[in-house]
Amino acid sequence: MTFRAPVRDLALALRTAGHPSLVGQAFPELDEDTVAAVLEAAGAFVESELAPLNRKGDQVGARFENGVVSAAPGFAAAYQAFVAGGWNSLSADPEHGGQGLTKAMELAVFEMVHASNMAFGLCPMLTQGAIEALDLHGTERQKRLVLPKLVSGEWTGTMNLTEPQAGSDLAAVTTRAEPDGEGGYRLHGQKIFITWGDHDAADNICHLVLARLPDAPPGVKGISLFLATKRLVEDDGSLGIANDLRAGSIEHKLGIHGSPTCVMLFEGAKAELVGEVNNGIAHMFVMMNAARLQVGVQGVAIAERAFQQALAFSQERRQGRAAWSADGSIYGHPDVRRTLLLMKAKIEAARAICLTTGVCADLARLAPSEAERTTARQRQELLTPIAKAWSTDVGVEVASQGVQVHGGMGFIEETGAAQHYRDARIAPIYEGTNGIQAIDLVGRKIPMEGGGVMDALCAEMHATVADLAATPGLEAVGARLDAGIAALERATDWLLQNKGPNALTAATPYLKLAGDVIGGWMLARQALATAAGSDDWSRSKSALARLYAGQVLAQAPGLADGVMDGAGDLESVTAHALGG
């Protein structure tokens, strides 16, 4: 089916996330007309250049032949068009060749990129993280010779963390970095699951690699961050000979076949230190946190793509006696329509969470006062694990429902619905599994300021309830939201008083509760923002908020009860018992 970029929905999400005030404060030369023009142009690009390659990327995929990795058919040319259009440099600092736009705008554009072709979007997504890491921690040489090439997109970036014995536990990393006697280092080791670790779409690939120096202390405190390029970079910026690193193979995956996921072998590769010795985890987390928010956007994107396909199919498929369609299309069946509208509501809630987090990231850098920057940074930190985990769970759920709407046709590869489900499944695993995000939320983010950061968010949500109560047609949304906030506050208070296994067991259901309630609040804000509109699109926002309130927010009190059940029998139940 033809993908249509959801430009109007994205513009609404940016507006209700506070983007206009950000533009007015920190980007006086950037007006809403320019924002709209950028979104429209990005939508046109992805529809024409990237979406048509998505199916071929899934069917043919990246190739590994005679030690050489080739991108899926058409991807290299599309990447060059992407770079030529300036889409790689949206939020980068103009000092390094960037356009200096907002991070939130970049996220909105990248949602369209990922929705049109998720496997393609992973390449520039990782490059954005490399840009942020080098901008903050790179040496003068790296900023002068490497950073501008990453910003322009002439070169791409990767993130090398995982090893066969070291997945989420980075303390187990064993890749070695040995001083070469000339001020540089030589890397020895193997990294796995490296997204776009090798390809033929750009002139050079810049690998950010976690490794240990010979005298490093054990654990995460002994890991440093290094830059190793596929081809060496001379002091004048020209490309030298090939470095001593290579792809050993590419993975055969459930989905995202167009993205080459490589086993990378570092065989004495020349490298430069990035940042401080033995502080690599902190430096890499700049890249990780950027990727976590981007992966949340991926969840929204793949859900949008799956929804659009399911909606189109429902309008074409004739089956049974439909209550609400004269032509017999299954869109007229009440349960099918409920499913589709709930899919759409969750997409818009997840989109709003991600873009609001992006606005907070911008304000954390650019707000006029230190107090405002601190408040924005804390809100960003609180929302990031929710944006990553809740949104990617929505991506899998919506893609699964998309298959369901297709019925048996969805289980057949020819329709394409199955690809979205397969592609979506990696996102809850990427960049710290969703369980890790939940642990981060309850272990680090909720306790910030003694729970004050979440308290402030709940207070802001409560203020919206009064506006809903005063708006005809949205009173019930206000009542459901009020009850949902109360449930979230109750669960938060319990978590602040409980540590250890109780808190860890509650982490995932708590994150779901938080995402459900915050997402409902953001849908309510969109409904309020469009309440005066008389067109179908405007009226649909109130309908989506009402449906979400009845189907999702209504479950919040029960979720809170589940959070407070704690560890219960979990410790005492043995694996032997589970195995029968």
Measured CA to CA, the distance from residue 74 to residue 10 in angstroms comes to 27
Burial zone of 573 (CB within 10 Å; 0-12 exposed, 13-18 middle, 19+ buried): exposed
Residue with tokens 């589940």: 562
Measured CA to CA, the distance from residue 319 to residue 331 in angstroms comes to 10
Element (DSSP H or E) covering residue 532: none
Catalytic residue among 40, 431, 449, 475: 431
3-state helix, strand, coil in the chain (%, to 5): 60, 15, 25
Q: How far, CA to CA in Å, does 285 sit from each of 105, 162, 291, 346, 461?
A: 22, 14, 9, 28, 30
Measured CA to CA, the distance from residue 187 to residue 242 in angstroms comes to 14
For residue 471, count other CB atoms closer than 10 A to its CB.
Answer: 17
Q: Considering only CA atoms, which of 111, 88, 122, 97 is closest in space to residue 39?
A: 111
Which residues, at least 6 apart from 558, have a Cβ–Cβ distance to it below 8 Å? none
* Chain center to CA of 311: 24
Q: 261-274 and 239-242: which strand pairing?
A: unpaired
431 is catalytic: yes
Asked if 31 contacts 23 with a C-beta cutoff of 8 angstroms, the reply is yes
How is residue 276 annotated by DSSP? Answer: S
Half-sphere exposure of 393 (CA within 13 A, CB side): 19
Active site residues: 431
